[in-house]
Amino acid sequence: MAEFDVDLFVIGGGSGGVRAARIAAGYGARVMIAEEYRMGGTCVIRGCVPKKLFVIGSHVHHEIEDAAGFGWTIPSATFNWPTLVANKDKEIARLEGIYTSNAEKAGAQIVKARAVIEDAHSIGLANGQTVTAKYILIATGGAPNHGPAIPGIEHVISSNEAFHLPELPKRIVIQGGGYIALEFAGIFAGFGSDVTVIYRGDNILRGFDEDVRVHLRAEMEKAGITILTGCTVKAIDKHGKDFSTHLSNGSSIASDKVMFAIGRHPNIRGLGLEKVGVALNPHNGGIAVDGWSKTSVPNIYAIGDVTHRYNLTPVAIREGHAFADTVFGKRPVQVDHATIPTAVFSQPEVGTVGLTEAEARAQFSHVDIYKADFRPIKATMSGRDTRILMKLVVDASSDRVLGCHIVGDTAAEIIQAVAIAVRMKATKADFDATFALHPTAAEELVTMRTPTARYVREAAE
């Protein structure tokens, strides 16, 4: 008789947990997954995928406007928000089915119930069942964080609720300056809402390259989005169906909806971590793990957003795969978290990989910057007032390209390919030797020959 009911018990049926379960089962492990909500996790159900569908839908308005410059006369178009939401729901349900079937086909058993760790090898399910496992993997992701309680906080929605609004708000206030806030600002503005973004910092996209931050803000403001920085929401009053949002600078804004997107916290509440002795990271509040995703309890591991390391779906997937290879494939794999490409599906889009200019100048003594700011070819005919930013950060001593930053249409698609070169430690000479593909925006990356700025850090005496 087996010592444990299963070899691996995964708590959380998101992208990372499902990948770990599938790979572990492929190695012959007996695997069980517990998911209390819907298979697919945040990314599939109420994150990356539905967001990208909404982004695509919100672009259509611009496409219709731009068509006139290319000779098209298009009758007045109408938009129906409930139709968008319903069609999105159908696609998400389809993807959820795929996630479920792929896990089951791999040999994993799925339990639709909340799971709580009772001891190092036991998990209690909400249905009353107790399961023992040789290894436990926590992959419960993250959840929206509204921050400190303020008067009227009960009226605030998060990105979770934004996907299911019964109607499109005519006016919306969004607090936050990161990925989610800016992406939804573009979505709602694209569908015709009046959008105001509130952010406590001096500029949006904290942590991104400074030129990216400045360029994106200018483009969003040209599109009619109001961005107020250096202030926060202090209180929200409800008046019938309307809201008054009171800011720390003394002003107030009227709207139909108020959304907070100020960050996410690890989804660890009620998992039984304290009981079993799983330590938390004091710096970020996530589950503390080592380079192998192992927690302070030797047979319990954690991956993805619940560790609060790099909250990106592809990172969770890579960590889940590496865990299964290491523990069940007997092929030790550590995830290299360096040079992770990322995208903000704002409007315009942001794609970035590697070091920012500030990071490079802090780490390297000689840094060259190559930058292009230009009007895309489509805008020359459509008449739209928009510009693309492309920037390369180079170690002038070795000629290695340290970072690439793009703001403009299809930035994410471009940066995915550039990330390969940056990870392979390609040099600026390699970029220069690559033939340009004309006419494209991306050709600027291989045609910029003269540095726009050069920095030399003097050695300390």
Catalytic sites, residue numbers: 438
- Pair type for strands 233-239 and 242-247: antiparallel
**C-beta of residue 455 within 8 angstroms of C-beta of residue 367:** yes
Following CA atoms 15, 21, 24, 28 in sequence, which dihedral angle do they give, to the nearest 10 degrees?
-150
Tokens of 158: 């998060």
CA angle (404 as vertex; 19, 387 as ends), nearest 5: 110
**C-beta of residue 260 within 8 angstroms of C-beta of residue 147:** yes
Tokens of 39: 């298979």
Work out the burial of residue 28: count CB atoms within 10 Å of its CB; fewer than 13 is exposed, 13-18 middle, 19 or more buried. exposed
Angle between helical axes of 81-105 and 48-67 (0-180°, round to 10): 140
The residue type found at 266 is P
Q: How far is CA 125 from CA 32, 111, 113, 272, in A?
A: 12, 9, 6, 12
**C-beta of residue 94 within 8 angstroms of C-beta of residue 251:** no
Strand partners, 194: 171
Where b means 16+ CB within 10 Å and e means fewer, 151-161 reads ebeeebbbbee
CA angle (377 as vertex; 373, 379 as ends), nearest 5: 85
Tokens of 282: 């004091």
Cα separation, 428 vs 449, whole angstroms = 9
Q: Closest by alpha carbon to 254, among 242, 240, 265, 264?
A: 242
Question: What are residue 153's phi and psi, to 5 degrees?
Answer: -60, -25
H/E element, 364 = none
Q: Closest by alpha carbon to 22, among 98, 129, 91?
A: 98
Q: Closest by alpha carbon to 131, among 276, 5, 29?
A: 5
Q: Closest by alpha carbon to 43, among 180, 197, 185?
A: 180
Cα separation, 437 vs 410, whole angstroms = 15
Following CA atoms 9, 11, 17, 18 in sequence, which dihedral angle do they give, to the nearest 10 degrees?
70
